[in-house]
Amino acid sequence: MPVLHGGGQERHVRSGTLDVPAVAAFAVAARLAAERREEFAREVGALRDELVTAVRTSVPDAILGGDPVDRLPANAHFTFPGCEGDSLLLLLDAAGIACSTGSACTAGIAQPSHVLLATGTDPDLARGTLRFSLGHTSTKEDVAAVADAIGPAVERARTAGLT
């Protein structure tokens, strides 16, 4: 029984030809990621710490989610009391900053994160959350841009209030 319909490779069991260059490139990428994992975690973790400091300086009542010490290096999750996460998302997007209010599988759903609610987070607080993710292309300039934009965005979102 064919897995996909189309080409006749492997006695009509598989459709298409393997992309050998992509397979080889993936192998190299996986090897490099494994070799550079500790360096990446150290560098991006330091950048994440700068982001956390910048957000807390700009918005002193922002609540940093997660364990205060044992954190993922490329992630900072904040709750901004009195704000709608979607309002913040749009305001920061207009400033050229990409962030998220939740997981990709719940994109477009205007409800607080079911995960945060399951942890006992107050629903109004859960509605004001943002996740910032960093990667190998993130820079100190990116962190500075967040630092410049987050305070005014939070003020504006608080003016709009929770709907």
Residues carrying an active site annotation? 105
Helices marked H in the chain? 9-12, 20-58, 85-94, 114-118, 123-126, 140-160
CA 80 to chain centre: 16
Q: Which residue has the tokens 């859960």?
A: 126
What DSSP character marks residue 97? -
